[in-house]
Chains A and B, each alone.
Chain A
Amino acid sequence: MIVEASSFEAARSCPRECWIRESTTSVNAPERDLEFTTLDRLDRHWAELMTAAQNGDMEAYRQLLTGIVPLLRAGARRHHAAHECEDVVQEILLSVHRVRHTYDPSRSFRRWLLTIARRRSVDRLRIRGRIGKHEDWLSPELAAHTRDTDVLESYDADLAPVLARAIDALPASQRQAIDLVKLRELSLAEASAHSGVSVTSLKVSVHRAMKNLKQHLAGTRDDPAQHGTID
């Protein structure tokens, strides 16, 4: 995926409150005042829930996390492609969970939450931007050449099924580790939270899976009959 630089800059330079401001930009002043009042009330409610959660009330914690998800989704939609939004929301929830002991009940919960959300959003854009640096738009000449020769098509058409078969052939634990850590690019901690597998086990599984995949692909390359014509 290629991320436009402007979307990264917009997210980075945007103050906390504007991360989710789209819901308040298109309404008139009285409605906006009403909306801010509602947000303030919601803020106090969330602060109470978080305080209870810090004290061990997990029902309050569930209500809080469920309650903030729509706000996080709205913010994520402003800066990320649709297919990435849910990942961004989940990363924010994991960070909220990790740093929930830093919330001070005498302060605004919304401000605390939006700082975390904005930071995670920027981190995600930065990662995407870094990946994007290694990708490039095809020049018209090269694109025309590609269409003529179908170089990329034949490459993708040959390699993708081979790789998919190789991944499917992995043991379940290695397949899961590759999916979470390599294909979905989650950190080990996030992958661990998603799967319930320890970070150490994930590291071992990824290492073994990569080794198995290399062996499998080297084997198929030596035997072109298995997958066509990869040179």
Chain B
Amino acid sequence: MTRLNTEQLIEKLTSEGSSVQRLAPPIVRTTIWLTGFGIVAALAVWVLGAVPGMLGRLQDPRFALEMLGTVLTGVFAVGAAFCLSLPDRSRLWLLTPLPALLLWLSMSGYGCYRDLLAHGAAGWTQGASAMCFAFIVEVGLPTAVALYFPLRRAAPINPIPALASAGLGVAALSAALLQFFHPVDVTVLDLVTHVFAVLTVVMVTIAIGRSGMARAAR
């Protein structure tokens, strides 16, 4: 039986080794990926003619803050995913999207509150929750696949935090995109649905990406 001892393994690794292309810093990789996503999203919004309605809605400071929180959650979570895919980065990167996430949820919640005041009990039932869920999941999961491959290049030693952050990032970006096609403020049901859809994307991203990432690192 041929089983290598440690010294033989080192000889084998060095004899097989060659120069490697060092990964670019996470900020560069994040910028490249977000630029690509931004171009595709902008094209989709422009082609589907959703820009004029959005410009009008952004006049409302509450909605503008909600959009800012949603987009920043996506941007910070994607950046954190690229950092967390590297072995020597702190897990505290997981917390970077948190302030933006709180802004997003609190502004959405405030919108729900205003909705309840305006419509009374009807504020609980309005909205297009099923469409919201389907949109976030259907846009979020393909986007997660597009993020999976650059993350996999780092062969993360501990893939779950990176995948969780990636899932949150793509779900938030999908939710931001959803606002272009969701011309009304979110209701309580919509908000619950958004949260549930984001959690679904995060869980599916972890469940599907985990084994592939683990194989890449072994």
Contacts and interface: CB of A to CB of B under 8 A. Distances in A.
Contact of A62 (B14, B19, B23, B155): B14
A189 interface: yes
- Chain B interface SS verdict (over half): loop
Interface stretch (A145-153, A192-200, A221-229): A192-200
Contacts, number: 107
A86 B5 contact: yes
Contacts of A130: none
> How many A residues are at the interface, by size bracket?
35 or more
B59 interface: no
Contacts of A89: 6
B9 A193 contact: yes
Interface in B1-53: 1-7, 9-15, 17-23, 25
A175 B3 CA distance: 12
A95 B6 contact: no
A116 to B, nearest CB: 5
Contacts of B3: 179-180, 184, 194-195
A65 B13 contact: yes
B22 A101 contact: yes
A108 interface: yes
A61 interface: yes
B119 interface: no
A101 to B, nearest CB: 4
A58 B9 contact: no
- Chain A interface SS verdict (over half): helix
A189 B7 CA distance: 19
B22 A119 contact: no
Contact of B218 (A61, A62, A66, A190): A190
B217 interface: yes
Interface stretch (A18-26, A33-41, A48-56, A202-210): A48-56
B202 to A, nearest CB: 22
A94 B154 CA distance: 15
Contact of A61 (B5, B17, B21): B17
Interface in A84-125: 86, 89-90, 93-95, 97-105, 107-108, 111-112, 115-116, 119-120
A69 interface: yes
B114 interface: no
Given A98-B218, A99-B157, A187-B218, A194 B9 contact: yes
A94 B218 contact: yes
B85 to A, nearest CB: 8
Contacts of B88: 103-104, 107-108, 111-112, 115
B182 to A, nearest CB: 39
A89 B13 CA distance: 14
B14 A61 contact: yes
13 contacts: A56-B18, A58-B17, A59-B14, A61-B13, A86-B5, A93-B6, A98-B216, A104-B86, A116-B157, A176-B2, A189-B215, A194-B4, A196-B12
Interface of B: 1-7, 9-15, 17-23, 25, 86-88, 154-155, 157-158, 215-218
Closest 9 CB pairs of A and B: A56-B19, A112-B88, A101-B20, A115-B87, A62-B14, A65-B10, A119-B157, A99-B155, A58-B14
Given A65-B14, A194-B2, 20 more contacts: A56-B19, A61-B14, A62-B10, A62-B14, A66-B7, A93-B10, A94-B13, A97-B17, A99-B157, A99-B217, A101-B23, A102-B154, A102-B155, A104-B23, A107-B88, A115-B157, A116-B87, A179-B3, A190-B218, A193-B9
Interface of A: 53-56, 58-59, 61-62, 65-66, 69, 86, 89-90, 93-95, 97-105, 107-108, 111-112, 115-116, 119-120, 175-176, 179-180, 184, 187, 189-190, 193-196
